[in-house]
Amino acid sequence: MDLIGRARQQGLTIRAAGTGHSFNSLACTDGLLLDLSGYRGIVDIDRAAMSVTVRPGTTLWQLSAVLDREGLALANIGSLGDQTVAGAVSTGNHGTGMSHPPLSGEITALRLVTADGRARTLDGGSDPTTFNCARTALGVLGIITAVTLRCVPRFRLRAADQDEPLDRLLDRFDAWTTSAEHVSFTWLPWTDNASTRALHVTADAPTRGAGRRRYNATVQEVRCGLVAQAARVSPSAVHRLSDRAARRATSPRPYVDVSHRVFTFPQPVRFLAMEHALPLERVVPAIRELRGALRRSDLHSPYSVLVRVGAPDDAPLSPAYGRATGYINLTIPRTAAHIEILRIVEHVMREHEGRPHWGKAHTATAEVLAPRYPGWSAFLRTRAQLDPTGLFGNDYVDRVLGPNVAPHEAIGDRGELAAGKG
Query: Tens-of-pLDDT digits for all 422 residues of the chain?
Result: 577 888 888 889 999 988 777 888 898 999 999 998 899 999 999 999 999 999 999 999 999 999 999 999 999 999 999 999 999 999 999 999 999 999 999 999 999 999 999 999 999 998 999 999 999 999 999 999 999 999 999 999 999 999 999 999 999 999 999 999 999 999 999 899 999 999 999 999 999 988 888 888 888 888 877 777 776 666 566 766 666 656 555 567 899 999 999 999 888 888 889 999 999 999 999 999 999 999 999 888 888 999 999 999 999 999 999 999 999 999 988 877 788 999 999 999 999 999 999 999 999 999 999 999 999 999 999 999 999 999 999 999 999 999 886 545 554 444 433 333 32
**Strand 305-310 relative to strand 182-187, pairing:** antiparallel
237 to 22, 302, 353: CA distances (angstroms): 29, 10, 34
**How many of the other CB atoms lie within 10 Å of CB of 197?**
20
CA distance 418 to 96: 37
Task: Decide if 370 contacts 379 (C-beta within 8 A).
Answer: no
The CA distance from 91 to 318, in Å, is 8
**pTM here?**
0.92
**Which domains occur in the chain, in start order?**
2-153 (3.30.465.10), 156-356 (3.30.70.2520)
CA 183 to chain CA centroid, Å, is 16
Q: Name the DSSP letter for residue 162.
A: E
DSSP letter assigned to residue 210: H
> Is there a contact between 82 and 61 (Cβ–Cβ < 8 Å)?
yes
